[in-house]
Chains A and B, each alone.
Chain A
Amino acid sequence: QKEVEQDPGPLSVPEGAIVSLNCTYSNSAFQYFMWYRQYSRKGPELLMYTYSSGNKEDGRFTAQVDKSSKYISLFIRDSQPSDSATYLCAMSGTDKLIFGTGTRLQVFP
């Protein structure tokens, strides 16, 4: 079983849609959960992070962590064409980040 699993997509949605991106993991030692956005051939850009379980909201973005199910989600409300990118989940127990494969999102006008 992979340590972090993420559906690679691609996910194609119309502008204004609600997008749900998800990751599952197997290592119960993970305590920090991050979402990064990556444009083609660029570095990962930190969007949000959560410590342990719970929800966190930042503008149009909401991150959820369910440690009992080992499942994390990122919701994007009112999606925009500028949200088109690859979204990477990452998590850690120490400080080494373990990444998912990334989900490619395309928001069309």
Chain B
Amino acid sequence: EPEVTQTPSHQVTQMGQEVILRCVPISNHLYFYWYRQILGQKVEFLVSFYNNEISEKSEIFDDQFSVERPDGSNFTLKIRSTKLEDSAMYFCATATSGTTKNIQYFGAGTRLSVL
């Protein structure tokens, strides 16, 4: 069964460092999303991405965050200068197209620990 693959599974970084989280979407999916889940809290939307541009972003997704699809396969989330409060699970989700873009499939997540 096709799945969304995220790497690394766990990233430990020092405050102020840059991190890049990677996602390989399901092959025929065209809509890409990042969500995060702080420990013990709900899953929160960060950003949606379609046709090589951001469709929508939340207020969490400030100038420290960026997304791109550098090589047509990977979908990345970059945090430029990490803060302690960025520590969370980050999930990539993907969807096919049209009306089914609401039906999103999630990866296993990257646990980001900022020290």
Contact = CB atoms under 8 A, between A and B. Distances in A.
B108 interface: yes
Contacts of A88: 42-43
A95 B48 contact: yes
Given A43-B109, A44-B91, A97 B104 contact: yes
Contacts of A31: 102
Contacts of B107: 43
B106 A45 contact: yes
Interface residues of B, number: 29
B111 interface: yes
B106 A43 contact: yes
Contacts of A99: 42-44
A62 interface: no
B45 A98 contact: yes
B56 interface: yes
Interface string A65-97: 000000000000000000000001010101111
Contact of B109 (A32, A42, A102): A42
Contacts, number: 64
Nearest to B55: A95
A6 B55 CA distance: 28
A41 B89 contact: yes
A51 B41 CA distance: 26
A42 B1 CA distance: 17
Given A41-B111, A99-B43, A102-B42, A94 B106 contact: no
Interface of B: 4, 6, 31, 33, 35, 41-45, 48, 55-56, 58, 89, 91, 93, 95, 99, 101-109, 111
Given A95-B104, A96-B45, 20 more contacts: A34-B102, A34-B104, A36-B106, A42-B109, A43-B91, A43-B106, A43-B108, A44-B43, A46-B104, A92-B102, A94-B56, A95-B33, A95-B95, A97-B33, A97-B35, A97-B43, A97-B45, A99-B42, A99-B43, A99-B44
Interface of A: 31-32, 34, 36, 41-46, 49, 51, 88, 90, 92, 94-102
